[in-house]
A = this chain, B = another copy of it.
Amino acid sequence: MGHTQPHGYDKYAYEPFAVTVDLAVLTIRSGALHVLLVERGQDPYAGHWALPGGFVEPSESAETAARRELAEETGLADVTGLHLEQLRTYSEPDRDPRMRVVSVAFTALLPDAPEPHAGSDAARAGWLAYDKPRPLAFDHDRILADAHEHVGTQLELTCLATAFCPAEFTLGELQHVYETVWGTALDRPNFRRKVLATPGFVEPVPGAARLTGGRGKPAALYRAGTATTLQPPLLRPNPEGRSA
């Protein structure tokens, strides 16, 4: 911004850039990772699934636009508290065949999954299992993969996992978040100790317990704590590469 300006201040000297947001909205449904997708109603990629998103309006920041789109697509009344995080920006010149589109991608994590409504441009909208619905329109496969990788890394380093859980949750549910996103099983005793040993990760709800699935011993309930970072980190069992 404000640097070398090839042709002075003529705002229309160049082919304009469109700026959009794309949202990788993740949730856990019936024990599996799901992603919010819309089915495109028009070309290009008519009939393909795509990430929800839309244009940044003149008075908005990308973050504001993302939150507005999230509210519109999920039908959630209050998205102010939801975890929304910028992923990265995709700007390859040919990523949209119609014109030059630069897209700021976000990840959002939801505790449970209200049914979405289809927007103006979309034929359908819904939660689809993470593994299934490829290929997506445009470069959305890559964006979604980047989002998954990013969330996986964030689980190692931060207390983000609680964003997938409702206000009160059991440690088993929290562990299930990790196992679902990472695709690996964790040792329950060790996970439990690690979480409880991290100050501010979770705080107990006194006296409360929940019967989980009707089977087994009732589990104590916890709320998300105030801490944001995990020190030391909670590393994935499979020592596989991280990008970031």
Contact = CB atoms under 8 A, between A and B. Distances in A.
Interface of A: 1-6, 9, 11-12, 14-20, 22, 38, 40, 44-45, 50, 52-56, 58-63, 69, 86, 88-89, 91-93, 95-96, 98-104, 119-122, 137-138, 154, 157-158, 228-229, 231-233, 235, 239, 241-242, 244
A133 to B, nearest CB: 16
A122 B4 CA distance: 8
Contacts of A100: 58
Nearest to A86: B88
Contacts of A122: 3
B54 A3 contact: yes
Contacts of A18: 1, 11, 17
A116 to B, nearest CB: 13
Contacts of A16: 11-12, 16-17
A92 B20 contact: no
Given A2-B137, A17-B17, 14 more contacts: A1-B18, A1-B53, A1-B96, A2-B44, A2-B101, A3-B52, A4-B55, A9-B98, A11-B16, A11-B99, A12-B12, A19-B91, A228-B241, A232-B235
20 contacts: A1-B95, A1-B103, A2-B40, A2-B45, A3-B50, A3-B52, A4-B119, A5-B121, A11-B18, A11-B99, A12-B16, A14-B55, A15-B58, A17-B56, A17-B102, A59-B93, A61-B91, A62-B89, A89-B89, A89-B104
